[in-house]
A and B are shown apart, each in its own frame.
Chain A
Amino acid sequence: MTSAASPAVRRGPDLRIPFGFALVALACVAPLFLGNYPLHAIIIALIFLLPAHGLNLLLGYTGLLSLAQAAFFGIGAYASALLAVHFGTPFYLNFLAAGLVTGAIALPLGIPALRLRATSFVMCTLGFVIIGQAIAKNWISLTRGDMGLAAIPKPYFALGPASFTVSGTVGFYYLVLAIAALATLAVYLIVRSPAGRNMIAIRENETLAESVGIPTWHYKLVVFMISAVFAGLGGSLYAHYLTVVSPLTFQMYYSTTMLIIVLGGGAGTISGVIFGSLLFVGLTEALRVAPELRMIAYGFFLLALVFYFPNGFAPLIGRFWSFLERRK
């Protein structure tokens, strides 16, 4: 968790930039040679990337382990779905509202929660998920409870005469790809800013960070909020993509999914989290081949991750870069 800087970072501008461009270019032309099913898998990976980015800011850069991502993911999904179903608002409004609502809810939740020590904080964040689910199940007049909100419209952009609706797998793929790219850029800017360095200082040693004048408590609260906003935005996309939300959107499974993506890819690296989300979805889909062994294999994968790759797979990417550099 502490190995944020991969070896390649110290070498300055290098192969990573052309490689990154190549990757983006590849992503842009992917629908030309991928069928609907692989595209669907990548869409899910890109949607999960948003809450994972949020968790990475919290866990990877600030050192706070939280299981609340599923709660904020669910709040975002419901906020967006309710707006779209009841008011037929255009997609970008639902999307932004999902982020705002989630952030506004995360603030009062974060204030008491962040006062807690590590384990209690983890349990408290898990509590948000459990209580979120109970609210979604029992506030029937708003959420329709277990019957769920169905028939959420496809993303609609109201631009006067140029209004259009994103439909079909390919269309949604480009929408999600654009949003995921913007989110990644936002995370990059946060992390590279002075604030990002202060976050890392808090992760490494909170007392020391406090003593050099970093307002650690404010930082933690703001990062908690930002991570919630990312989860809420992901939830919004998810609702519009699946066209249905149910209280099961609030379940610990999604929190652990985000945790696995971040830790599997490598906490504290952006490329690691992108890699992690693709790896996770790839793994889930690959394991579909043997449905009855699927969850068992998944359990062994978790153990392997914890005991053999405690830093995730990001250090391996770093090694790959240095390998390329050496050959140059």
Chain B
Amino acid sequence: MTIELSRRGFCIGTALVGLQAVSSSAFARSEDGTVKLGLVAPMSGPNARYGAFSLRGAQMAAKEINDAGGVGGRKINIMAGDSQGTPVEGVSATRRLIDQDQVDFIIGDVSSSVTLAMQPVAEDAGVLLLNAASSNPKITYKAGVGGFKWTYRNYPTDENRALIVLQYAAEKKGFTKYAVLSVDSDYGRAAIEFTKKYLPRFKSQILTEDYYKEGEVDFRSVLSKIRDSGAQAIIMYGNADSTPIVGRQMTEVGIAGKIPLIGNAEFNTASSIKAAPKALEGAIEAAAWLPAYESEKSKAFVEKFTAEFREAPNNHAYVHWETVHLLAKAIEQAQSIDREKVRTALSNIHYASAVGEVTFDDHNQARLPMILLEIENGKPVIKGAYSAEIDYPK
């Protein structure tokens, strides 16, 4: 056993020396003619599904760019880091990408709390952090003129989302009384916080307010309470995985078809609708993107992704695919992978995305529309794309 240990000790020693060798030899990071792009996403843990979609989307974009000759002759090399959906692991993965892999740019994370933790790390290192999927408004409140110069976000925020959902429900449906059933996370809570901000504008009120933990499976008690409360709609900012469960249990307590779901939790996917067609009929959702979106570019993406992975893409696959292309365009316009120049290019970019033109405001927040849809006869019907200038706290 002693020999065993010393061998192990030796291995660990070698590994450390190896790390050292790697980090010093990779000093000239751009010499090998690639663009090193770090991708931080939850590859394991409860949100692993989001990470898998993100990675596939990003890799697909990188492959498309590389097959077309790369950006300015450089190939994009995606290096993945696992955040496990927790801030600590996210920071660890980010530092590893920056210090050891010497990446030029980072895209990440999905979870807002992880992104918030990554911001100061990227700022300290002067590495561009381009977020593609976190919706908490605070991220860009603190970016650009707000402080973090190196954080950009190519994703609409909950602030915008909360407003348009409420507006559509009030103006088109005439709802004024709501029940809240959202996920207990920065995303679910922040979305409700902003909903409350806009409630008085539509003379509406919240009758019951509940938050569920990721992985919750029994909503019957809450749904019965909502049934008896007199609410006209359920505001739900949740995880995609809870939607079929909530839908089925809505049918069970007898509110399916009477009290619709509004908000965001992948109400529009075929699998959600199939699980509880009656409960999801009339659901209203605001999403950054959905597979049914009507545009040439979007349809081509869905087709290609589905052919390649035998599975329809979700929102996270799309936004990461689009964001890699966006970054490539910025690098092309900067005609360099110099971080300063790419950042300047990004600030001034006019990029034609599948959902419209992308430009960044002085908080490094992309001006992006939220797409509003309603489920009619078992199919998502797009009711419009809404953009809003964000009202930054002074």
Contacts and interface: CB of A to CB of B under 8 A. Distances in A.
A/B touching: CB–CB < 8 A: yes
Contacts of A227: none
Contacts of B119: 150
Given A248-B86, A294-B44, A323-B2, A147 B15 contact: no
B208 to A, nearest CB: 16
B357 interface: no
Contacts of B80: 291
A316 B138 contact: no
A37 B82 contact: no
B339 interface: no
A316 B9 CA distance: 11
Contacts of B185: 146
B91 interface: yes
Interface size of B as a range: 35 or more
B134 to A, nearest CB: 12
A181 interface: no
A295 interface: yes
A230 interface: no
A19 interface: no
B225 interface: no
A34 interface: yes
A244 B96 CA distance: 18
A249 to B, nearest CB: 8
A319 B2 contact: yes
B23 interface: yes
A147 B92 contact: no
Given A35-B19, A36-B99, A147 B43 contact: no
A37 B87 contact: no
Contacts of B124: 168
B177 to A, nearest CB: 24
B44 A291 contact: yes
B361 interface: no
A320 interface: yes
Nearest to B15: A286
B87 A148 contact: yes
B142 interface: yes
A282 B8 CA distance: 12
Contacts of A38: 16, 19-20, 23
Most buried by B among A150, A168, A279, A320: A150
B193 to A, nearest CB: 9
Contacts of A145: 184, 186, 189
Contacts of A295: 44
A66 interface: no
B221 interface: no
Nearest to A294: B44
A37 B19 contact: yes
B116 A148 contact: yes
Contact of A288 (B2, B82, B138): B82
Interface string B9-20: 000100110011
A307 interface: no
Interface string B138-149: 100010000000
B203 to A, nearest CB: 26
Contact of A35 (B6, B24, B184): B24
B217 interface: no
Contact of B44 (A151, A244, A292): A292
Interface in A11-39: 33-38
Contact of A36 (B2, B95, B117, B186): B95
Contacts of A244: 87, 91, 113, 116-117, 120
Contacts of A36: 23, 95, 98-99
Contact of A148 (B82, B113, B142): B113
A148 B116 CA distance: 9
A145 B93 CA distance: 24
A203 interface: no
Contacts of B87: 148, 242, 244, 246, 248
Contacts of B112: 147
A222 B44 CA distance: 39
A137 interface: yes
B52 to A, nearest CB: 10
A279 B9 CA distance: 9
A286 B100 CA distance: 13
Most buried by B among A37, A44, A242, A282: A37
A40 B99 contact: yes
Contact of A246 (B1, B113, B189): B113
Given A137-B184, A147-B112, A244-B120, 19 more contacts: A33-B20, A35-B20, A35-B99, A35-B100, A36-B95, A37-B95, A37-B100, A38-B23, A40-B92, A140-B189, A146-B184, A146-B188, A147-B138, A147-B189, A244-B116, A248-B87, A282-B12, A286-B15, A294-B44
6 smallest CB-CB distances across A and B, nearest first, come from A35-B23, A37-B99, A244-B117, A36-B99, A37-B100, A147-B186
14 contacts: A35-B20, A140-B189, A146-B185, A146-B186, A147-B189, A148-B186, A151-B120, A242-B87, A242-B91, A279-B12, A282-B16, A288-B93, A292-B44, A316-B2
Interface of B: 1-2, 5-6, 12, 15-16, 19-20, 23-24, 43-44, 80, 82, 86-88, 91-93, 95-96, 98-100, 112-113, 116-117, 119-120, 124, 136, 138, 142, 184-186, 188-190
